[in-house]
Structure 1
């Protein structure tokens, strides 16, 4: 690798998680406490089927958050050099898929609806991949601007 091939742009994209681990534990304690109390009260008056549904609610909330946190383990790495644009996608299970495009031919397609960037795709020679589908529109827009500038800068430095 020569100096000219040195990485000039590198970004790691990952889904935003608004609830911290501590927040999750507090929220689950509230759900378990509230639903557990409801289950015990309904069992005390003989309405045991309601208690079953209360426990099912706890399990569903726990399962939904488990799936959400699992999807939060995915990320994408985007690197731009004068020679190539590399997009590396890592799934929640750890499976890695790489997409490589020549910088000179790479095109960034940005789809906007109103003022929001709703779709971001990079491609070349009939191949393309979506980037940052899990980002919010504002983050997707700022990333699109940075990536487009990096591609243009590296195209000129060839």
Structure 2
């Protein structure tokens, strides 16, 4: 018997700054820091340019970490028998969650009429889903996931 797939969705974090935008931003910051370093060197403050260079380096490291986390993909797969949550990065793919479709439930938490948390639950275990999404997209994911779980359960029982 083949396991019918009802949902296979990728959740990717949104990053507003593109690679090109990052290069432009770092170029501007570097140019401004070089100009400031030249002024401070002319005044005789020879240590200030070192700290300005460290400032640019810290900014590059922070953006590199942000871009790395932005490449993390969360894949949610609902089949007739299983629900799987898989985390994919450049280097590895790991199974974060697996549970039987029949017993998997969704729990959610709202604040100020906005969906702020969505979790898969079964037998006291839980796993967050769609944390990289905004409230509207998370609500859409919740509706899609509930429909997929319902269809998967219905197909198992043969009820039409």
Q: TM-score, normalised by structure 1?
A: 0.91
Q: Post-superposition shift, 1:34?
A: 0.8
In the alignment of these two chains, the number of paired residues is 156
Q: Post-superposition shift, 1:95?
A: 5.0
Matched, 1:40 2:38: yes
* 1:131-154 alpha-carbon deviations (Å, 9 max, x no partner): 122222222121111111111121
**Secondary structure at the residue paired with 1:110?**
strand
Q: Post-superposition shift, 1:115?
A: 2.0
Contact kept? 2:86, 2:93, Cα under 8 Å: no
Work out the CA distance in 2 between the residues paired with 1:76 and 1:133: 9
Matched, 1:16 2:14: yes
Contact kept? 1:71, 1:92, Cα under 8 Å: no
Q: Post-superposition shift, 1:126?
A: 2.2
Work out the CA distance in 1 between the residues paired with 2:89 and 2:20: 25
Q: Post-superposition shift, 1:18?
A: 0.8
Q: Which runs of 5+ in 2 are unaligned?
A: none
The alignment's C-alpha RMSD in Å is: 1.6
Work out the CA distance in 2 between the residues paired with 1:17 and 1:100: 28
Work out the CA distance in 1 between the residues paired with 2:6 and 2:55: 49
Q: Hey, what does 1:103 align to over in structure 2?
A: 101
Work out the CA distance in 2 between the residues paired with 1:32 and 1:97: 41
Work out the CA distance in 2 between the residues paired with 1:80 and 1:48: 61
Q: Hey, what does 2:25 align to over in structure 1?
A: 27
Contact kept? 1:75, 1:90, Cα under 8 Å: yes
Contact kept? 1:122, 1:128, Cα under 8 Å: yes
Q: Post-superposition shift, 1:92?
A: 6.3
Q: Which runs of 5+ in 1 are unaligned?
A: none
Q: Hey, what does 2:131 align to over in structure 1?
A: 133
Contact kept? 1:84, 1:102, Cα under 8 Å: yes
**Secondary structure at the residue paired with 1:123?**
strand
Q: Hey, what does 2:110 align to over in structure 1?
A: 112
**Secondary structure at the residue paired with 2:133?**
coil
Identify the range of structure 1 (28-37 vs 122-131) with the bigger mean alpha-carbon deviation: 122-131
